[in-house]
Amino acid sequence: MGIKLKDIADACGVSEGTASLAINNRPGVNEETKEYIRRIARKMGYFPNANAKGLAERKTGLIGVLVPNIENLFYSKLVRNVEEYLRKLNYKMILATTNNDINYEQEMIERFISFRVEGAIIYPMIKENPNPDYLKFLDMNDIPFVFIGSYYNEIKAPCVMSDLYSSLTNAIEYLYHTGCRKFYYLGGCKSIVSNRIKRKALRETLQKYNLVFSDRHYLELRKTNYHYAFKAAEQLMKSKKEVDAILCADAYTAIAVYNVIRQYNLEVPTDISIINFDNILLPEICAVKLTCIEQNVDQLVEQSIKILQKRMENNSTNSEQILVETKLIVRETTK
């Protein structure tokens, strides 16, 4: 049956109204009686309905968070930082991983609304999503949200993401000055916003050096994981196409590429240089220390939550975009 408010009131010899005021820390009951009632309630295992309390106050203390997955250590770190930051602000996180399922993403947006979250932080799916209109349900219910990491072109909302264009420009120029001329990129769905930015950076930066980067130089992986990256790198090596620089979506992709290159009796970085996004694997646990583009997860999270706070406080509808600087960390996979 469960412990009810009436049970607490009877045990304390007070009315249900008095018990409710004490448990919810409302005025109208002296502190000594309040403490006594709350102590009895705890002893009996009674906890007030947080949803009902939140609805009455129009404050639930809940923030909805959507990310593509938590298998990739980058997203795991992002989620951990979001939760830590929210806890400092006395908010609780409701987390959902979409696994690139559009229907599930819509379902969770609707669930966030039913839970009356006060705001939402959304990392878009890493697959094409042509019609994410369901995000407008958040606006219709006065629930502010912010994109982190990327955004959906069709939806106007603030976004905090890494400066992908500048980060790749710097990496390409570094590789060019070490002698690289034949570039390939291994990554996920080429039509999503973040990868369109990366392709633009690769194409335009190499054009400055009279080098061509076309669609055939972007090897689109069905999933950005070790297995699919290994297969794509194998096909590239078997094709005997000229290549001396490969940029990778993440560390797992880079390790797959490295292993394939060694399998073909080539040397990294003597024959082929490798740079990957994200400094997520400790150098000491890798067979080779990876040169990488480190995204500043702390700044991504801090800026996103600050913007969300502003929107929750003043119902701002601005759709500003903040770009967070990255850092090129040079290790053993480049010359």
Strand 273-277 relative to strand 183-187, pairing: unpaired
80's CB contacts (< 8 A; 6+ apart) are none
The token pair that represents 210 in the structure block = 């009279």
The token pair that represents 158 in the structure block = 């603030």
- Within a domain: 26: yes
221 and 186 share a domain? Answer: yes
CA distance 58 to 70: 31
153 and 67 share a domain? Answer: yes
95 and 204 share a domain? Answer: no
Q: Domain range spanning residue 40?
A: 5-48
- Within a domain: 53: no
The pLDDT, as a whole number, for residue 56 is 56
Facing residues of 62 across strands?
Answer: 92
**Regions in the chain scoring below 70 on pLDDT:** 1-2, 47, 49-58, 315-317
**Single-letter code of the amino acid located at 270:** T
The token pair that represents 114 in the structure block = 């039913």
**In total, how many domains does the chain have?**
3
170 and 264 share a domain? Answer: yes
Radius of gyration of the chain (CA): 26
- Within a domain: 42: yes
The pLDDT, as a whole number, for residue 198 is 98
Report residue 322: phi and psi, to 5°.
-110, 130
23 and 94 share a domain? Answer: no
141 and 171 share a domain? Answer: no
CATH of the domain at 234: 3.40.50.2300
Cβ-contact 277, 248 below 8 angstroms = yes
210 and 252 share a domain? Answer: yes
What predicted TM-score, i.e. pTM, was given to this entire model?
Answer: 0.85
The pLDDT, as a whole number, for residue 253 is 96
The pLDDT, as a whole number, for residue 196 is 97
219 and 270 share a domain? Answer: yes
The pLDDT, as a whole number, for residue 33 is 92
Cβ burial, residue 108 (10 Å; 0-12/13-18/19+): buried
Short-list 198, 173, 194, CA closest to 185: 198
3-state secondary structure 68-114: CCCCCHHHHHHHHHHHHHHHHCCCEEEEEECCCCHHHHHHHHHHHHH
Residue holding tokens 């290994």?
230
The pLDDT, as a whole number, for residue 55 is 53
Cβ-contact 78, 123 below 8 angstroms = yes
260's CB contacts (< 8 A; 6+ apart) are 230, 233, 234, 237
240 and 200 share a domain? Answer: yes
275 and 303 share a domain? Answer: no
284 and 314 share a domain? Answer: no
